[in-house]
């Protein structure tokens, strides 16, 4: 029997499947093999920490999708996907991390048994969960198939969020608001950074009295002092120090939907350069948000932000945002659009982005960012954290 506690209606899952099949037809793809966990979840409802082994969702030309994975995950699939157990197919545990066989041999047998071993099959060649070895085994086992790179085919179908998805992201925004409140309340010189991270996780998972939180696809990033010149450092067990700034890039998560929001806290009296960077960031954010609306492009949005930085004599060499939503480790991005010059993607209501206005310098850094929903008339920021540099003397 299909799962009884689905996060979305059957109609929504069928709409997602229809959108995916329409794009498959445009690209001449008969069957699609989906290995990205977020895409698997979006198409079927499957939710489990099993993406460290080979697994996939197969989208055939007609009928329900097929969930395929390790035998020990069979019950997890049956309890989370929307279709019957007939389309939950597993391989034996002897294929896991074996050197004399490969799980994709079993996937070849499955496709052959369902008469899907011909025509054009799309695979997600460039993602974290589909290996070169997997591809080679598939090609050897299905000689009558033409394989094509389906890239981020499903990711693009996820770009415009449904009303239910937006509600989940608003809840994630409420959670990340509480996380930042906890940081400002608890952070002080001498506190071990690991103890502060424990507080962050506590707030993240406890959520609100109405709903709890989920685990994030990326761990908290919170470098201090000169370490804050690097964007992806995590934490250690050393005490926080007076006269240092720390940025906190974190996300509230609800049912795998993320709302990342970053803020910076300075313990002590910040030098003037911190306030100058804050001013440029906030002006740039306001300028960018003027273009975060339907009909504008990702490039328009990014250019408005970068133009403000230029007036302040500042440069930012990386993109200034990306789409977010449903995700699994190791990151919370959707891998499609980017807020940067050259991206002509037109914004639509229901798209959601992490407006990543962070600045990193030679020996310090500041992050003040927002999760932004494109609405019919403009935009909405999904968290409610004061947009400023926090100072605790």
Give DSSP secondary structure letters for 299-320: HHHHHHHHHHHHHTT----S-S
Residue 146's pLDDT is 98
Residues of the chain predicted below pLDDT 70 = 1-4
The tokens for 346 are 């037109």
* φ, ψ (nearest 5 deg) of residue 66: -120, 125
Residue 4's pLDDT is 63
- CA distances to 89, 94, 96, 105, 125 from 100, rounded to whole Å, are 22, 10, 10, 11, 23
Contacts of 111 (CB under 8 A, 6+ apart): 31, 58, 117, 121, 142
Residue 233's pLDDT is 96
Q: What angle do CA 96, 102, 103 make, to 5 degrees?
A: 70
What 3-state DSSP class applies to 387?
coil
Q: Are strands 370-375 and 389-392 parallel, antiparallel or unpaired?
A: unpaired
Contacts of 192 (CB under 8 A, 6+ apart): 237, 238, 239, 240
Cα(378)–Cα(239) distance, integer angstroms: 43
Tokens 């890039």, residue?
249
Cα(151)–Cα(127) distance, integer angstroms: 8
Q: Tell me, which fold does domain 10-157 have in CATH?
A: Creatine Amidinohydrolase; Chain A, domain 1 (3.40.350)
- CA distances to 294, 317, 326, 357, 377 from 348, rounded to whole Å, are 5, 26, 18, 21, 10
Contacts of 5 (CB under 8 A, 6+ apart): none
Tokens 């700034």, residue?
245
Question: pTM of this prediction?
Answer: 0.96
How long a stretch of residues is the chain?
393
Residue 5's pLDDT is 80
Q: For residue range 74-124, list pLDDT tens digits in order.
A: 999 999 999 999 999 999 999 999 999 999 999 999 999 999 999 999 999
Judge contact between 323 and 351, C-beta under 8 A: yes
The tokens for 20 are 């995916």
Sort 11 into a burial class: Cβ within 10 Å, 0-12 / 13-18 / 19+.
exposed
- Which of 1.20.140.150, 3.90.230.10, 1.20.1050.90, 3.30.70.270 is the CATH number of 163-392? 3.90.230.10
Domains in the chain: boundaries: 10-157, 163-392
Residue 111's pLDDT is 98
Directed axis angle between helix 193-206 and helix 163-186, to 10°? Answer: 150
């Amino acid at each position: 029997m299909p799962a009884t506690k689905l996060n979305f209606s059957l109609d929504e899952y069928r709409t997602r499947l229809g959108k995916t099949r329409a794009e498959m037809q445009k690209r001449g793809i008969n069957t699609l093999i989906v290995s990205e966990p977020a895409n698997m979840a979006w198409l079927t409802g499957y939710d489990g920490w099993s993406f460290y082994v080979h697994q996939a969702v197969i989208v055939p030309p007609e009928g329900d999708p097929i969930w395929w994975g390790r035998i020990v995950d069979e019950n997890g699939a049956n309890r989370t996907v929307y279709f019957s157990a007939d389309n939950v197919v597993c391989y034996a545990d002897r294929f896991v991390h074996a050197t004399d066989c490969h799980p994709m041999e079993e996937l070849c047998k499955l496709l052959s048994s369902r008469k899907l071993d011909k025509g054009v099959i799309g695979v997600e060649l460039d993602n974290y969960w589909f290996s070169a070895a997997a591809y080679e085994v598939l090609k050897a086992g299905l000689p009558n198939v033409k394989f094509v790179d389906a890239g981020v085919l499903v990711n693009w179908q996820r770009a415009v969020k449904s009303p239910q998805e937006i509600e989940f992201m608003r809840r994630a925004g409420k959670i990340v608001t509480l996380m930042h409140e906890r940081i400002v309340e608890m952070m002080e010189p001498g506190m071990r950074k690991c103890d502060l991270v424990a507080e962050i996780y506590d707030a993240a998972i406890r959520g609100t009295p109405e709903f709890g939180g989920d685990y994030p696809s990326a761990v908290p990033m919170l470098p201090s002092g000169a370490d804050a010149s690097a964007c992806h450092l995590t934490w250690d067990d050393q005490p926080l120090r007076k006269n240092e700034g720390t940025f906190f890039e974190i996300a509230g998560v609800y049912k795998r939907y993320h709302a990342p929001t970053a803020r910076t806290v300075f313990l002590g009296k910040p030098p003037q350069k911190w306030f100058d960077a804050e001013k440029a960031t906030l002006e740039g954010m306001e300028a960018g948000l003027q273009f975060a609306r339907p009909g504008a492009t990702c490039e328009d949005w990014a250019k408005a932000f970068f133009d403000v930085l230029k007036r302040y004599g500042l440069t930012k060499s990386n993109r200034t945002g990306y789409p977010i939503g449903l995700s699994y480790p190791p990151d919370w991005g959707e891998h499609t659009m980017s807020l940067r010059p050259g991206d002509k993607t037109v914004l639509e209501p229901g798209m959601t982005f992490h407006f990543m206005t962070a600045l990193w310098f030679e020996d310090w850094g500041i992050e003040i960012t927002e999760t932004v929903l494109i609405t019919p008339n403009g935009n909405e920021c999904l968290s409610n954290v004061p947009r400023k540099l926090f100072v605790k003397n």
